[in-house]
């Protein structure tokens, strides 16, 4: 993405994700979904 402001050009590049980062993000996402499901189950009990 390139943004031109007056005489300044700013370019943003998306960082490439390593295999380890992708694996970590997937693990975190799974844990988050499991926790969310447990919270929903517990809220239904009360």
For 44, the domain range is 21-46
Cα separation, 24 vs 12, whole angstroms = 24
In a domain, 38, yes or no: yes
**Structure token pair of residue 17:** 């994700």
Looking at residue 40, what is its pLDDT?
93
Residues 13, 21: contact at Cβ < 8 Å?
no
Looking at residue 46, what is its pLDDT?
78
Looking at residue 34, what is its pLDDT?
97
pTM: 0.58
Total domains, the chain: 1
Looking at residue 39, what is its pLDDT?
94
SS3 content of the chain, % helix, strand, coil (to 5): 60, 15, 25
Average pLDDT per 10 consecutive residues for the chain, totaling 46 residues: 69 87 96 96 87
In a domain, 13, yes or no: no
CA distances from 37 to 5, 8, 27, 46 (A): 46, 48, 15, 15
């Amino acid at each position: 993405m390139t943004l031109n402001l007056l005489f300044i050009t700013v370019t943003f590049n998306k960082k490439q994700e390593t295999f380890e980062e992708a694996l970590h993000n997937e693990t975190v996402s799974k844990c988050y979904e499991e926790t969310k499901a447990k919270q929903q189950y517990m809220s239904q009990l009360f």
